[in-house]
Amino acid sequence: MSNMLKTTATSNPWNLPNAITMARILAVPFFIWSLVSISNDESPMRWVSVLIFIVIMASDGVDGAIARKRGIVTDLGKLLDPIADKALLGGALVTLSILGEIAWWVTIVILVRELGITVYRLVVVNQKVIAASSGGKMKTIFQGVMVGFVVSPLTAWFPFDWYFLFEDGLVLISVVLTVYSGLQYVIAAVRARG
């Protein structure tokens, strides 16, 4: 009986992890709104934006953990999860660039890679679903940490050169990991076709 229920749950794409992923996507506009509403990057109210961002990012781990624990990993979940990541990251980067807090070249490099891989996944979805690589997961973690620090009002607390260098270092590492993980996907795709 339990095997039968597990099989049914696995074949049903509308499960709890996928619902959490959809909630993450729907929460992104609230995060963007908070950034625009609290455009002063040194305002203590910026912690509201950080909190919303952390909740959305943390729910990413929750949906994946539930799916793996219950054995209900679905192709829809594998597809929606990176889309939710891209929506949050893309919204954050574009908004931060508009506000002048992150250079546009950083946003462009990261989004070209992110959107390129997402479009590729959508194109090959009927042939093969490509899960996130280890480099992709590390990239996502670093991007999240980087955005969290840039969004935070810590520059008001640490108006020192070393702190600005620290944030710049996080941005640079995120860009490098983004490009590296993108190359991993390209290499994997070429090998899969060959």
| Domain spans, the chain | 2-193
pLDDT in tens, 93-145: 999 999 999 999 999 999 999 888 877 767 765 566 555 566 777 888 899 99
Whole-number Å distance between alpha carbons of 189 and 186: 5
Per the prediction, the chain carries an average pLDDT of 84
Tokens describing residue 55: 């909740």
95 in Cβ contact with 36 (< 8 Å): yes
pLDDT at 194 exceeding the cut of 70: no
SS3 (DSSP) at 15: coil
Higher pLDDT, 93 or 1: 93
SS3 (DSSP) at 40: coil
Closest CA to 136 of 126, 144, 128: 144
Whole-number Å distance between alpha carbons of 155 and 94: 20
End-to-end CA separation in angstroms for the chain: 42
Place of tokens 């749950």: 9
Q: Would you give the DSSP letter of residue 153?
A: S
Fold that domain 2-193 belongs to in CATH: Four Helix Bundle (Hemerythrin (Met), subunit A) (1.20.120)
pTM over 0.85: no
